[in-house]
Structure 1
Amino acid sequence: MHALTLIAASLPGLAALGALLFTWMQVGQTSKELRISEHGQITSRFNAAVGNLGSESLDVRLGGIYALQRIMQDSARDQPTVVSVLAAFAQRHAGSSTKSLQKSLESSAEHEPTADVRAAIATLGRRSPEHDGGTIIDLSTTDLRGIYFAEDAPIRLPRAELAEADLRHAQLYGADLHSAMLSYANLDQAYLDEANLRGAYLYGASLWAANLNAADLRRADMTCGVESVNANGEVIGREQCVKLQSAYLERADLRNATMTDVDLSYATLTNADLRGADLRRADLSYADLTKADLRGAKMSGAKLTGAATVGTRGLQEG
């Protein structure tokens, strides 16, 4: 009799537990169905946006780009795919640097990428890189002459692939390009003031009269690059060394940068920090090194003919 009483007393609790378990299972099933529905909606939105990228109408293409931007904001798991699509779109619609580099620097000053290319790269440059999942933004061999981003909204393209890109007259104030691949890129008269180029690969690049004031170039690789090699690994042609003639590097941070054989003739390096930089065989003829810091820099074979060295620290006497 006592056992029956105990069972009867526990029945309401067991019933409540059963109801709670049933409710939990229902909530779990509903949540699963909701996720499936959301993924289905994102897939539909993605397909529609990609379809718009192929339109002949500029307005429709822009709509597709902004739709993909919203998908990245709504779904971090889809960001790597969106990044790849937008990079491929920009690379294709901007055109090849192989053709653009045949045009003069003067003509490049008047060139500007189309609105949809600028929008695609702006979307890439203002995303949250931590959700890329290892995806590399590939804009190599792309014509990006005169691309412009406002100083108050710098882009972020760390580790981007920009090898052999045409970036003449590009305006990338404060851009985050740390560890970016810029080998053999042409950055003549580009504006990279206060840009983060820490650890960037710039071997064989051309930066004639480029603006790099207060830029961070710590540990950047600016060594000579080989123009090309054949199938046997044999060098075809001559080495292509970094060109920084007449470049503006006032207050630039070049600590521990590798700059062997770089051409810095007539460059402005006032108050630049070159501590520990490798400047062996560099041409610093007529460069302005006023108040630059060269302590610990490797200078063997460097040319300093006509260089301004008032207040320069680290230069050995003679």
Structure 2
Amino acid sequence: MLILVGYVLMVLRAPAVLLPPEATSPALGPSTAPLSPAEKLTAAHNARLLAISFGGALVVLVGLLYTARSYRLAHRGQVTDRFTKALERLGSDELYIRIGGIHALEHVLRDSADHHADIIEVLVAFIRHRAPRVRGDVDSSIYPRPLPLAEPEADVQAALTALGHRPRRRERNPINLATLHLRGSKLSGADLRGADLTEADLRAADLHNVNLQDSCLLMANLREANLSGVDLRNANLVEADLQNVHLAKANLRKARLRGVDLRNANLVEADLRDAHLVGADLRDAKLPGANLRNANLRRVDLRRTDLVGADLRGGNLLVADFRDANLRGADLRRTGLAGADFQNANMTEADLRYAYLMESNLRAAGLALAKLRGANLRKADFRDANLRKADLRRTNLHMADFRCANMSGANLWAANLDWVNLREADVQGTGPLIAALAARQNAAGGDTSGHGLPPRASAKSSGDAE
């Protein structure tokens, strides 16, 4: 009633407020003509119409605000009702009803940001209740946990799909799927950033293009899983089992892979820059074109590994095992390889400039056309190695062993040959003084102590141009 009275008064008083002063007012000057009675009546009518229009607009605005508020409340009530009904379906004994409840939750998840965190918690709890555990935990006789299968049950798979393709919003807690048996799961393209998959069984799972950035896969079992194109940046994969996995073009930058099992893994063109692989097992793995720049590969087992064209620049490969590995054309510039074992490895055309290979084992290694300029090869073992036309300029070969090695055409300009052993080595085309040194050692039965001229001087005067 008070609002209505106020509105009537505003309409009645509108002319006094909105009409201009009388034309005869001295403030307007003597030239202003006074308003006629008809003009005053028209002006008053227009002022009241303006006040009525303003009041009408205000009423419409208030109505719109009230309608919007009512709609929000009604929508929230509908969403809450949908959420409640979906929860009831999850407890059904019928598989298809549970799947319907999961799909209903997925729709609510997309429609309502307010229910996002609650629905994620419900889906995670549902998966943890329905999926078997990796370890044999004790279940109640009332709700026994299903036995492990070759792939998840349909309702568990539906819940995993809903989780993996949820809208990207802020969440209270990371997704916890630790210690669950999820073998054969289909999660292609899923977003599982920051998820906890500790000790999870993901054997033969389809994880193609999955985002697992910052996730925890500690001691997880991923044997034979498809991880091509997966994003594992900063992920924790310590002691995980990755045998026979497909990781082509995967992003493992700065991933923690200490003690991981990558035997027979496919890592073609994978990005392993700055990754931590100490003690990892990469036997028979395929890494052509892989990027391992600045990676920590200390004590890694790389036997029979395919590293053709791989980039290992600046990496730490101390005491790594490269026996029978294929490193053809690999880039190992300035890499720490002290104590590494390259026996029978194929290193043809590999780039080892300024690498640190002190006391490394290069017996029977194929180093034809390899670039070793400026490398530290102190006490390295090159017995039976093929160094044909290799670039050994300015290398430190102090006490290196080249017995029976093929060094034909190798460039040893300015190399440090102090106490080097060239017995029975093929030094054809390396220069007359080096040939004389080899001949003298052969005649002395391999005694390298009395070779005569200072070795550096001999190498520089051999006639090879830099």
Normalising by structure 2, what TM-score?
0.59
Residues 1:12 and 2:12 are matched in the alignment: no
Post-superposition offset of 1:291: 1.5
Residues 1:250 and 2:268 are matched in the alignment: yes
Deviates more, 1:189-198 or 1:131-140: 131-140
Number of residues of Structure 1 aligned to a counterpart in Structure 2: 289
CA distance in 2, matches of 1:26, 1:185: 58
Match of 1:179 among 204, 207, 214: 214
Aligned to 1:270: 288
Post-superposition offset of 1:147: 1.2
Residues 1:115 and 2:154 are matched in the alignment: yes
CA distance in 2, matches of 1:74, 1:254: 39
CA distance in 1, matches of 2:283, 2:326: 11
CA distance in 1, matches of 2:75, 2:305: 60
Answer 1 or 2: higher relative contact order, Cα 8 Å, separation at least 6.
1
The structure that has the greater radius of gyration is 2
1:70-109 to structure 2, matched below 5 A, reads: 70-99=107-136
Q: Is the 8 A contact 1:179 1:199 kept in 2?
A: yes
CA distance in 1, matches of 2:128, 2:329: 46
Unaligned runs of 5+ in 1: 101-107, 224-240
C-alpha distance after superposition, 1:77-115 (max 9, x if no partner): 222221221122112211111139xxxxxxx8x711001
What SS is found at the alignment partner of 2:130? helix
Q: Is the 8 A contact 1:192 1:211 kept in 2?
A: yes
Q: Which has the higher helix share?
A: 1
Match of 2:317 among 288, 299, 306: 299
Post-superposition offset of 1:246: 2.1
CA distance in 1, matches of 2:172, 2:277: 29
Post-superposition offset of 1:312: 1.3
CA distance in 1, matches of 2:266, 2:171: 36
C-alpha distance after superposition, 1:65-85 (max 9, x if no partner): 000111112112222221221
CA distance in 2, matches of 1:311, 1:57: 60
Deviates more, 1:28-37 or 1:154-163: 154-163
Identity among equivalent pairs (%): 37
Deviates more, 1:83-92 or 1:59-68: 83-92
Match of 1:310 among 301, 322, 328: 328
Residues 1:60 and 2:60 are matched in the alignment: no
Report the residue type matching 2:219 in the other structure.
Answer: Y
Normalising by structure 1, what TM-score?
0.85
Aligned to 2:307: 289
Post-superposition offset of 1:148: 2.5
RMSD over aligned CA atoms reads 2.1
Post-superposition offset of 1:7: 6.0
Residues 1:133 and 2:151 are matched in the alignment: no
Structure 1 residues 99 and 146: CA distance shift in structure 2, 3 A? farther
1:97-246 to structure 2, matched below 5 A, reads: 97-99=134-136, 111-129=150-168, 131-149=169-187, 154-223=189-258, 241-246=259-264
Q: Is the 8 A contact 1:83 1:135 kept in 2?
A: no
Q: Is the 8 A contact 1:218 1:254 kept in 2?
A: yes
Report the residue type matching 2:313 in the other structure.
Answer: R
CA distance in 1, matches of 2:57, 2:209: 56
What SS is found at the alignment partner of 1:77? coil
CA distance in 2, matches of 1:8, 1:113: 78
Post-superposition offset of 1:204: 2.2
Report the residue type matching 1:57 in the other structure.
Answer: E
